[in-house]
A and B are shown apart, each in its own frame.
Chain A
Amino acid sequence: MATTVAPPPAVAVPASRYERGLWSWLATVDHKRIGQLYLYTAVTFFLIGGLEALIIREQLRGPNGTLVSAETYNQLFTMHGTTMIFLVIMPLSAAFFNYLIPLQIGARDVAFPRLNAFSYWVFLLGALFMNASWLFGAAPDGGWFGYTPLTTKAYAPGMNIDFWVLGLQILGISSLASGFNFLTTIINLRAPGMHLMRMPIFTWMSFVTQFLIILAFPIITVALTFLQLDRFFGTNFYTTAAGGDPLLWQHLFWLFGHPEVYILILPAFGLVSEVLPTFTRKPLFGYPVMVYSGVLIGFLGFGVWAHHMFAVGMGPIADSAFGVTTMLIAIPTGVKIFNWLATLHGGSIRFTTSAMFAIGFIALFTIGGVSGVMHSSPPADLQQTDTYFVVAHFHYVMFGGSMMGIFAGAYYYFPKITGRLLSERLGKVHFWLTFIGMNLTFFPMHFAGLNGMPRRVYTYAAGQGWDLENMVSTWGARMLAVATLVFVYNLIRSRRQGERSGNDPWGAPTLEWSLHSPPPEYNYAVIPTVRSRYPLWDLKAAHRSAHEPHEHDGDMPTLAPETLAPDTPPPTARQLGITMPTPTLKPLIASIGLTAIFVGLIWNKSLPIMLGGTALFVVALYAWLLSPLEEHEE
């Protein structure tokens, strides 16, 4: 972000090997490259997590299924949940944070580019660590919620839970590091004039998400540390024989776990709120209320955790309190849905694939929200918790909500990332297969649950009244599998052969669309000055006769017209004399050292590996902290 003039670049920047090939990715500190790394990694894990789901559904297609053993099934559903939450939806959101936040706020990069690279590498290594468990036949099998004492050494002596605990610890470090980074970025790197109430709504929702990450992850870190110490060093936190209380884990876990739900859904709210205005050609209805409701959801999200525990016997007062706070959270969520509807109302809706996913999101998320209210009532929840009704509920929220929102964002932003459009034809096939498949898979689960089918069962007896629901679900899952393959094919194909998009294919209102697609490494040749929420629309307001400048505009002129990049390839940073952070391998090396510590721990507490990892981490960290971000300082 240097605004200082760089020395002659030929001397200072030995850049070539950092610009192309494998090296350029390993050493990158560019938020756009890191965003793409998150994207590709998360899509890969989406396929893995989806395959796990498909095997689960095949096993449950009929009663007394024998495709996989009980042990394998328990590993599959544990890893399906863990993968989809920590290795798919969170990193997909991180891909958008990375790629979009600096662009949306008019910055050249994030606040700490090297920390950003470190976050990604730690995430990748943590994900590989967790999945390496399959190679040992010891994938985690205690559920994504890992309830104690089932996950303590006494009841789970194998390595399965070790992989889970340590894997989540590694991933937690990544999430925390990126949380600090994006929080700082959003607070401190907004372009002149972009005060908080002019921030694009995606950035706003991401902002709330970062708060949730940095406040929720320390809690799970502590809970996991206890479990790790119990398992590796014989402490007693969850040892029931020593008086340990299983509810300690449950409270700590859900104190993290519920904000985590909002960590998963808020970025999707943001994406949908970006997509809808563009394709209705109307500003987001009630922007301030959308912001405040997002903040309120994040805030209330910390006060509802025990609604996951209505069956544990907390007593009527706690049950009532958590029931009521949970109902409260439905209010800001409902407001969001109404505001999205009002955004559509009176618009001129263009049904691009992105818009269809965003509209599908509203429909499906509403179903998830309604069933959520149904188990906010503790007595009703007693009949619903731990049944397929809940499985239906949260898949409507996570798949119908988060993933549909992310798909909407993917079709919307793909051209910005690659300069090419995703195929609309394949996109519509993808949408319809997903929309129908998703409902076929998850809607019958409501009935299975209300008809008494418990969750997390690898088998069920015949004649229980669940056969039809399960068979339909399995067919729906197969449809979703096809839909996903269509999407991945579209991604791969369109990257090379997609129609060229130009800089602003959708006529979008926000700053990032003023840039060349894909944007140059420095993003903005001149840091823009922002005067409204929709700078690009204001710029084009001349031909928008119906446009009324909104209350915050005042009489301010809009974005300078020369801000719009021409369609020709942009000049390089060197040509412009802009100094960007120097690519470096130090974050990668530090992340390898850090992961090695955990590898040593699971490798029979191998001291050499742990000490070697620590040494590598410390050396890389010092080398990183003591070297300048940008080359010209030396």
Chain B
Amino acid sequence: MIRALRWRTHTAAALPAALAACSSHVPNTTLSPQTEFGRDIDALFDILLFAGVAVLVLVTLALLFVIVRYRHRAGAPEPKAIHGNAVLEIVWTLIPAVILAIIAVPTVRTIFRTQAEAGPNALQVEVVGHQWWWEFRYPQYGVVTANELYLPVGRTVNFALMTADVVHSFWIPQLGGKRDLVSNDTNHVWFTPESAFAWNGFCAEFCGSSHANMRFRVFTVPPEQFERWIAHQQSPPVLGAAAPPAGAIDTLAPAPPAPPQATAPTVVADSLPEHVRAATPIPAGLRMSNVRGDAARGAQLFMRATPMPCAACHAIQGVAASIVGPNLTHVGSRTSIGAGLFPTDARHLALWIKDSPAMKPGSKMPAFGKSAQIPAGLDDQQIADLAAYLLSLK
């Protein structure tokens, strides 16, 4: 089903139309593989499913037959005492053994095929799990980003999986995984995306409070778009490019629709299908007053916000280099914030800065909004400035 819905277009301009047509009701299904890795597994799964259903149907029919046929009837004679039948018992020991042998052979073959070394031309991506977000590095290109993966169609990608803290698990149901991110160890998984589309990724190993909120997106794009994306990521952020002249953004208004750009290197959030659109409701009780942010002031605040500058944790190419939190170099061009939770717009960014733990349980980023507990915190104007700045980092 998904196969029919894949991105067929090769130009970003045509994407919205293609994506609008996508409304599968099972957008994360594991049963419609889109990589050779997925197809290997799916072929095995088909054998297992067929054998399993066959056994289940036979046993269930046999059970139904005996309980109907041999139900107690008034006046029926006592049943014969049968203590066993060696031949029968050997037969039904052997039948499952044969079925299992049939399963075991392709199983072992698939294990060795999927766990072989990736090819030499593979795109290398390092995945670092953090509570509760994903760091993605492209060491061949010197690119670091967070929570959104861009992969070229048709090129094998080899993931090196590591964790900065606890065990996580890397899983994109339709493409590949899952493979755990284990401390003091590096795991690998590789696959080759076959079609251009937008996919969901999840953390599949319980990792604490916001395990459920440790999501990511994967955009498989045509190779030439991938090249443009890489070039864009390698360049420093284009400050204020998309912001109104004074850098003013109304924090309560929805983000102004970005003009469709035929050559846009990144995916435009509005054009995404529903299943990869960040739409978590804002938790009750969070307030942000309606003020206009100024990106220039925000840029200064980034370096010296109180109680702690943003730069203490976050990197922006050419500005700051800390690696505690997600790299924000092109945060304004990502479709979502908070590891796939909220759309990237001024309002959500502002609320996130104001009280991240309320937006995402357990968030390691402290609340920055001024309050009784945090008297040195930022006021709504300062938060709006920061949001405007971040949003301008296209």
Write the residues of chain A forming the contact surface with B, with a CB cutoff of 8 angstroms.
Answer: 64, 66, 69-71, 74, 142-143, 147, 149-150, 155-156, 240, 243-247, 280-283, 285-289, 311-313, 315-316, 319-320, 323-324, 327-328, 330-331, 334-335, 337-339, 341-342, 344-351, 359, 362-363, 366-367, 370-371, 373-374, 376-380, 382-387, 450-465, 544-548, 550-551
B residues contacting A by CB (< 8 A) are 24-31, 40-41, 44-45, 48-49, 51-53, 55-56, 59-60, 62-63, 66-67, 70-73, 76-85, 88-89, 92-93, 95-97, 100, 103-104, 107-108, 110-112, 114-115, 131, 165-167, 169, 171, 173-174, 177-180, 182-185, 187-188, 200, 202-213, 215, 274-275, 277-281, 283-284, 361-362
Q: Report the minimal beta-carbon distance from A65 to chain B, rounded to whole angstroms.
A: 10
The distance from the CB of B15 to the nearest CB of chain A, in whole angstroms, is 18
Q: How far is the CA of A292 from the CA of B24 in the complex (A)?
A: 50
Hey, which chain B residues are within 8 Å of A337, CB to CB? 59
Q: A286-B89, A459-B213 are in contact. Are A323 and B107 (CB under 8 A)?
A: yes
> Is the beta-carbon distance between A344 and B79 smaller than 8 angstroms?
no
Contacting pair A341 B165 (CB below 8 A): no
Name which residue of chain A comes closest to B199, CB basis: A452
22 contacts between A and B (CB under 8 A): A147-B167, A282-B79, A286-B85, A311-B169, A316-B111, A327-B103, A331-B96, A331-B97, A331-B100, A342-B88, A344-B63, A347-B66, A348-B72, A349-B72, A373-B48, A379-B111, A383-B45, A385-B178, A454-B204, A461-B278, A464-B275, A544-B78
User: Are B167 and A461 within 8 A (Cβ)?
Assistant: no
CA distance A74 to B361 in the complex (A): 11
Measured CA separation A359–B65 after assembly (Å): 12
Say yes or no: A289 contacts B111, CB within 8 Å.
Answer: no
Q: Which residues of chain A are within 8 angstroms of B26 by Cβ–Cβ distance?
A: 451-452, 465
Contact B41 A282 (CB under 8 A): no
Would you give the shortest CB distance from A272 to chain B, in whole angstroms?
13
Q: Which residues of B contact A450 (CB under 8 A)?
A: 29-31
**For the complex, what is the distance from the CA of A387 to the CA of B84, rounded to whole Å?**
40
Q: Do A315 and B213 form a contact, CB below 8 Å, given A155-B165, A335-B92?
A: no
Chain B residues positioned under 8 Å from A286 (CB to CB): 83-85, 89
Given contacts A465-B25, A465-B26, contact A341 B59 (CB under 8 A): yes
From residue B274, how far is it (CB to closest CB) to chain A in Å? 4
Task: Give the distance to chain B from A312, nearest Cβ to Cβ, in Å.
Answer: 5
Q: Which residues of A contact B107 (CB under 8 A)?
A: 320, 323-324, 377-380
The smallest beta-carbon distance between B184 and chain A, in angstroms, is 6
Complex Cα spacing A288 to B211, Å: 48
Tell me how far the C-beta of A592 lies from the nearest C-beta in chain B, rounded to whole angstroms.
35
B51 nearest CB neighbor, chain A only: A373
Given A328-B100, A386-B169, A457-B212, are A348 and B81 neighbors across the interface (CB < 8 Å)? no
- B173 proximity list for chain A (CB < 8 A): 383, 451-452
The reply to whether B44 and A377 form a contact with Cβ atoms under 8 Å apart is yes
- Interface contacts beyond A312-B180, A452-B202: sample of 6 additional A-B pairs, CB < 8 Å, sorted by A: A282-B82, A338-B92, A349-B71, A377-B103, A380-B48, A382-B177
Q: CB-CB < 8 A to A155: which residues of B?
A: 131, 165-166, 208
A371 touches B52 (CB 8 A): yes
A574 shortest CB reach to chain B, Å: 41
Q: B203 touching A454 by the CB < 8 A rule?
A: yes
B188: chain A residues within 8 A (beta carbon): 313
Name the residue on A nearest B80 (C-beta).
Answer: A546
Q: Is the CB of A374 within 8 A of B48?
A: yes
Q: What is the minimal beta-carbon distance from A452 to any residue of chain B, in angstroms?
A: 3
What is the CA–CA distance of A340 and B178 in the complex, to the nearest angstrom? 38
**Chain B residues near A247 (CB, 8 Å)?**
182, 185
Decide: A150 and B206 in contact? CB cutoff 8 A. yes
Known contacts: A71-B361, A150-B206. The answer to whether A331 contacts B93 by CB under 8 A is yes
Give A373's nearest chain B residue, CB to CB.
B52
Contacting pair A464 B200 (CB below 8 A): yes
Question: Out of B30, B78, B103, which one reaches A452, CB within 8 Å?
Answer: B30
Q: Is the CB of B24 within 8 A of A465?
A: yes
In the assembled complex, which residues on chain B have CB atoms less than 8 Å from the CB atom of A327? 100, 103-104
CB atoms of B84 and A546 under 8 A apart: no
- Residues of B near A328 (CB, < 8 A) are 100
Instruction: Choose one: A331, A349, A377, A547; the contact of B48 (CB below 8 Å).
Output: A377
- Report the Cα distance A345→B84, complex, angstroms: 11
A281 and B28 contact, CB distance less than 8 A: no
Question: A453 contacts B28, CB within 8 Å?
Answer: yes
Nearest A residue to B59 via CB reads A366
**Nearest 9 CB-CB pairs, A to B?**
A452-B28, A457-B212, A452-B173, A70-B361, A313-B187, A286-B84, A240-B183, A465-B26, A334-B96
Cα of A421 to Cα of B279 in the assembled complex, Å? 55
User: Nearest chain A CB to B73's CB is how many angstroms away?
Assistant: 7
CB of A546 within 8 A of CB of B167, answer no
Q: Which residues of B contact A341 (CB under 8 A)?
A: 59, 62-63, 66
**B100 and A546 within 8 A (CB):** no
Residue of A nearest to B168 (CB): A150
User: Of the candidates A149, A452, A462, A546, which one forms a contact with B77 in the assembled complex, judged by CB atoms under 8 Å apart?
Assistant: A546
Q: A380-B41, A465-B25 are in contact. Are A348 and B73 (CB under 8 A)?
A: yes
Do A461 and B280 touch across chains, with their CB atoms under 8 A apart? Answer: yes
Of the residues A374, A385, A545, contact of B45 by C-beta under 8 Å = A374
The reply to whether B81 and A380 form a contact with Cβ atoms under 8 Å apart is: no
- Most chain B beta-carbon contacts within 10 A, residue among A70, A155, A324, A452: A452
Q: Is the CB of A346 within 8 A of B70?
A: yes
CB pair A335 B182 closer than 8 Å: no
Give the complex CA separation of A551 and B100 in angstroms: 33
Query: Judging by beta carbons under 8 Å apart, are A455 and B179 in contact?
Result: no
Residues from chain A with a CB closer than 8 A to the CB of B169 are 311, 386
Please give, as numbers and ranges, the residues of chain A lying within 8 Å of B180 by CB-CB distance.
311-313
Query: What A residues does B76 contact at CB under 8 A?
Result: 348
Bound CA–CA A478/B278 (angstroms): 31
In the docked arrangement, what's the CA distance between A383 and B49, Å?
13
Q: State in angstroms the CA–CA spacing of A331 and B111 once bound together.
A: 22
Nearest CB on A from B68, distance (A): 9
Interface centre among B103, B203, B283 (most CB of A within 10 A): B103
For the complex, give the distance between the alpha carbons of A327 and B45 in Å. Answer: 15
CB distance from A410 to the nearest CB of B (A): 21
Docked Cα-Cα span, A401 to B81, in Å, equals 27
* A residues less than 8 Å from B81 (CB atoms): 282-283, 544, 546-548, 550
Q: In the complex, what residues of B have CB within 8 A of residue A374's CB?
A: 45, 48-49, 52
Q: Is the CB–CB distance between B206 and A147 below 8 Å?
A: yes
Chain B hits for A346, CB < 8 A: 70, 79-80, 82
- Residue among B26, B79, B165, B207 with max Cβ neighbours from chain A (10 Å): B79
A174–B85 alpha-carbon span in the complex (Å): 41
Please tell me which one of the listed residues B41, B115, B166, B202 contacts residue A454 in the complex, with CB atoms under 8 A apart: B202
Q: A547 to B81, alpha carbons, bound, how many Å?
A: 6
On whether the beta carbons of A330 and B202 are closer than 8 Å, the reply is: no
Q: Which residue of A lies closest to B29 (CB)?
A: A451
Shortest C-beta distance, A351 to chain B (Å), equals 7
Cβ B182 vs Cβ A313 within 8 A: yes
